[in-house]
Structure 1
Amino acid sequence: MTKLFATRLALVATMMLLANPAISAQQDDGALPAPKPGKPINAGEVLSGELNAMKVRDAKNTGKRIAMYQITSEPRRLPAPNGLCNLETGPETFQLVTSSDAQATQLKALVGKEISVKVDEIACASDPGQMSEAVITKWSLIKKQ
Structure 2
Amino acid sequence: MSFDNLDTLYRQVIMDHYKNPRNKGSLQDSVTVDMNNPTCGDRIHLTMKIEDGKVIDAKFEGEGCSISMSSASMMTEAIKGQTIENALKLSKIFSDMMQGKEYDDDIDLGDIEALQGVSKFPARIKCATLAWKAMEKGVRSEVE
Q: TM-score range by the shorter chain?
A: under 0.3
Which structure carries more relative contact order (alpha carbon 8 Å, separation 6+)? 2
Higher normalized strand content (fraction of residues): 1
TM-score with structure 2 length normalisation? 0.25
Task: Select the structure of larger CA radius of gyration.
Answer: 1
